[in-house]
């Protein structure tokens, strides 16, 4: 089982070493901004490294929205991040499922279809897209699994992957018991696990990650999810190298035990 962490983008390989991580995930640009990703001096090193690289797209991206002033820049930026993620050898580009502000989820889901159709005009996304489940909102495409199923009916044909976040599932109101089976019944695949505890309660709709065993989620459930999914694992937990190293070591111990 390959396990790692979401790290500061300044020097991901050094951050991986500091955590004994086999996987790193990082942003290629400010996650709260619309700036294009820039070429990286360490691109060759990242491509040739022993660690598995994943890139997380900015949070501002919402390809589902009915607001075209957000939707159009979102899909353009997602294509650019997929191009940039390829230069660092990323195995996946994680993007949140997004939401519609009001009304019709069907429109949001169709906007996802349009996003893939748009990318296909230029040969398709350069990096495997992994849609991640989210914690909040009442009109989210990938919070509740009834919505996720509707989304996958439309986007599944584009070969999209799935990233399951344990904090988001718990806070989003999807029980972690047997969740891998329920996800796979919808998506047929789980490409990455975000193994996070949640500071908040079940179905709270809040997205605040915590170190494993420190929050509201029974860590046995997180371990069971990882075992069942058989996918690479990234912790997106607080505490920098110290906190994340402890989470990684905890998971290794439990998974090997
Ligand atoms: Zn996540």
CA of 194 to the centre of ligand 1 (A): 5
Residues near ion ligand 1 (CB < 5 Å) are: 165, 194
Distance CA 147, CA 225 (A): 21
CA of 193 to the centre of ligand 1 (A): 8
pLDDT in tens, the chain (257 residues): 899 999 999 999 999 999 999 999 999 999 999 999 999 999 999 999 999 999 999 999 999 999 999 999 999 999 999 999 999 999 999 999 999 987 789 999 999 999 999 999 999 999 999 999 999 988 999 999 999 999 999 999 999 999 999 999 999 999 999 999 999 999 999 999 999 999 999 999 999 999 999 999 999 999 999 999 999 999 999 999 999 999 999 999 999 97
CA of 163 to the centre of ligand 1 (A): 8
CA of 24 to the centre of ligand 1 (A): 13
Strands 209-210, 161-165: parallel, antiparallel or unpaired by DSSP?
A: unpaired
């Amino acid at each position: 089982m390959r396990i790692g962490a979401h790290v500061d983008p300044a020097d991901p390989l050094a951050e991986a070493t500091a955590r004994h991580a086999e996987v790193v995930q990082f942003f290629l640009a400010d996650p709260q901004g619309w700036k294009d990703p820039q070429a990286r001096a360490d691109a060759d090193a990242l491509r040739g490294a022993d660690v598995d690289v994943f890139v997380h797209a900015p949070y501002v991206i919402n390809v589902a929205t009915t607001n075209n002033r957000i939707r159009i820049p979102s899909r353009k930026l997602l294509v650019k991040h997929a191009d940039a993620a390829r230069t660092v050898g990323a195995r996946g580009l994680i993007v949140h499922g997004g939401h519609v502000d009001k009304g019709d989820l069907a429109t949001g889901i169709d906007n996802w279809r349009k996003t893939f159709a748009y990318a296909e005009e230029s040969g398709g996304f350069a990096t495997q897209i992994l849609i991640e489940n989210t914690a909040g909102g009442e009109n989210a495409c990938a919070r509740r699994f009834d919505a996720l199923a509707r989304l996958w009916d439309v986007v599944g044909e584009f070969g999209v992957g799935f990233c399951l976040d344990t904090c988001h599932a718990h806070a989003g109101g999807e029980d972690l018991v047997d969740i891998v089976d329920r996800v796979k019944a919808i998506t047929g695949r789980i490409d990455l696990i975000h193994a996070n505890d949640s500071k908040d309660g079940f179905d709270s709709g809040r997205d605040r990650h915590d170190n494993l065993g420190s929050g509201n989620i029974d860590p046995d459930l997180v371990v069971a999810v990882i075992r069942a999914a058989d996918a690479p694992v990234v912790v997106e937990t607080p505490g920098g190298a110290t906190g994340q190293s402890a989470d990684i070591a905890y998971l290794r111990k439990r998974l090997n035990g």
